Amino acid sequence: MDIILLGAPGAGKGTQAKVLEERSGLVHVASGDLFRAALRQGTELGMLAKSYMDRGELVPDEVVIRMIVERISRPDCRMGVIFDGFPRTLEQAEALEQELQHHDRRIDRVIYLKVPEQVLLRRIAGRQTCKTCGATYNIYYFPSKRPDICDLCRGKLYQRNDDNLETARHRLEVYFSQTMPLIEYYTQQNSMVEVDGQREISLVTDIMLQSIGINGDNAEKQV
Ligand code: AMP
């Protein structure tokens, strides 16, 4: 089973994808995480991506597509993938479809996490991530117990370069102009469900699980 999580930056895709991955056995593939990992490793791909990410612009389609095609060709993705942050343009969506077709696969479900713009801005600008374990917090909605220290591993919390208010605003503009058309695209394909991303995190998880055929709390793996 292959699933796309669609939604603006700050809609909660990453948070939900981690839970879905645990519950479904599918592999979470987040294009933004792949770029950040490439950057940490100092690769050419990472350096190239950084120049776009820091400005809140999209990395060119051919670069993203090549990276994703390579990632999903690995054995761990054979049973299915939760795509997070990809596709972001129609060209990426078409490339993904073609690539899956080569392997007799298709997108089974697109889950659109809908959140109003003013909430998105606060969510992005308040976001903090643990340098050590990757846990995420939000200074407005879900602060760590001690400022800037991870509750789970005591690692240091940091703010992503592109999570400042100015870049966040631009990322949202880019999302509305370049990624929103995908909502229409997938609606026409009848593969999309819309979920209110402002509801409680665990409730959103349950609705998402149900939409891919897994019961809410304590569900057996069924995918
Ligand atoms: P994210 O972590 O999904 O918010 O992505 C962070 C940044 O990585 C974005 O603002 C883009 O610069 C870049 N990026 C991630 N995914 C894509 C994509 N599918 N297409 C183009 N750029 C992307």
> How much distance in Å is there from the Cα of 202 to the middle of ligand 1?
25
Domains of the chain: 2-116+192-211 (3.40.50.300)
Residue of 29, 35, 68, 96 to mutate, ligand 1, most atoms within 8 A of C-beta: 35
Distance CA 130, CA 148 (A): 9
Q: Which atom of ligand 1 is nearest to 86's Cα? A: 19
Q: Is 24 in the pocket of ligand 1 (CB under 6 A)?
A: no
Distance (angstroms) between ligand 1 centre and the Cα of 69 equals 16
- φ and ψ at 158, to 5 degrees? -135, 165
Is residue 160 flagged as an active site residue?
yes
pTM: predicted TM-score of the whole model, two decimal places: 0.91
CA of 219 relative to ligand 1 center, distance in Å: 32
DSSP 118-134: HHHHHHHHTEEEETTT-
pLDDT at 179: 97
Tokens 């056995």 correspond to 25
Say yes or no: CB of residue 67 within 6 Å of ligand 1. Answer: no
pLDDT one-digit tens code per residue, 92-123: 999 999 999 999 999 999 999 999 998 999 99
Question: Is the pLDDT reported for residue 141 higher than 90?
Answer: no
What whole-number distance in Å separates Cα of residue 138 and Cα of residue 110?
Answer: 26
The number of C-alpha atoms within 13 Å of 202 and in the hemisphere containing its C-beta is: 3
> In this predicted model, what pLDDT tens digit does every residue of 15-26 receive, in sequence order?
899 999 999 999
